[in-house]
Structure 1
């Protein structure tokens, strides 16, 4: 659809080490990206700049399972919000995008911040329920388990209200790039 874009947030190899269901998430996002391209939907990659001397440069690249193809857009970012300090909004508006389909890592950081910012920038949102991931945590961590984080964020976005915006939380298999948004 001409008014939709697929956003793939921070699916870089280094950021996926130890992530919850990383392989499954990557497979679903790769399939979504293929369907988006086939439907003429722009695929936009957001890549977190990481300046850490112990991380090999090749691990900072987007994971090969979801690597950009010719015609895709890749934007660098420095914060959790992919709109902040990047040309993302201008790129989307130039293409007539009104709805973003969001995937990526990490759920409670960059996926959450980018999704909320998209809504604040006036875009309708589809959060791909099984298309985002976050790091697994040790059993003794005070933080919720990764699976709980995903369930929580899907539930929040399924119930949150932004006046004038449509928000849907859908599994990857239910995302239809060829139909008009409901």
Structure 2
């Protein structure tokens, strides 16, 4: 086993936030499930990663019960489920040790959010010497507000602000930043060998 699929933060927490209605791909769990099926068929390791913010009272606080995988994502016995408290999947988990013990040299990255936890994990994995495949359409994100935008705005106000970075722009920026530097950027169909339809 030399490759591992990382399914990062595809968790119920995100669906509990008002911003979920602006998510770039509401079916990100379905795309992740396709990757999981493919990885299992190839004999690759599947690693599940959840994000937790204990004691915050937010949807990422495990006390509220939302720090769990979205429906349709079901780890099998022997598939590690890690909980992180940092943006990347390495710093606050035993992921690197786990991958080393299993002889993994390549990681495939999917999950939520594209430019945050997924991209940060991909960059760190590359710096640690892993070959990284980033499945851009098996990641999802939200529009990003301008740093000086007031807090607490509605989704409509966020979208109406011309300074807001659209989900399309976020995805494109991540692809440009990673490709050829930190990762090979692919689509689900390319990785799984599924026929591409027009």
TM range (shorter): 0.7 to 0.9
Per-residue displacement from partner, 1:91-116 (whole Å, max 9, x unpaired)?
00111000000001111110111000
Per the normalisation by structure 2, the TM-score is 0.78
**Among candidates 113, 116, 137, match of residue 106 of structure 1:** 113
**Among candidates 69, 87, 98, match of residue 94 of structure 2:** 87
Per the normalisation by structure 1, the TM-score is 0.85
Residues 1:20 and 2:24 are matched in the alignment = yes
Task: Give yes or no for contact 2:143–2:165 (8 Å, CA) kept in 1.
Answer: no
Provide the secondary structure at the position in 2 that maps to 1:60. coil
State the partner residue of 1:50.
53
Alpha-carbon shift at residue 157 of structure 1 (Å)? 1.4
Structure number with higher relative contact order (C-alpha < 8 Å, ≥ 6 residues apart): 1
Residues 1:41 and 2:44 are matched in the alignment = yes
Residues 1:115 and 2:131 are matched in the alignment = no
**Among candidates 137, 157, 160, match of residue 178 of structure 2:** 157
Alpha-carbon shift at residue 67 of structure 1 (Å)? 3.0
Task: Give yes or no for contact 2:135–2:186 (8 Å, CA) kept in 1.
Answer: yes
Alpha-carbon shift at residue 53 of structure 1 (Å)? 2.6
Per-residue displacement from partner, 1:27-51 (whole Å, max 9, x unpaired)?
1110110111122111001111133
State the partner residue of 2:151.
none
Alpha-carbon shift at residue 59 of structure 1 (Å)? 2.3
Provide the secondary structure at the position in 2 that maps to 1:22. coil
Structure 1 residues without counterparts, runs of 5 or longer = 178-182
Q: Distance in 2 between matches of 1:154 and 1:106?
A: 13
Alpha-carbon shift at residue 54 of structure 1 (Å)? 5.1
Structure 2 residues without counterparts, runs of 5 or longer = 145-157, 194-198
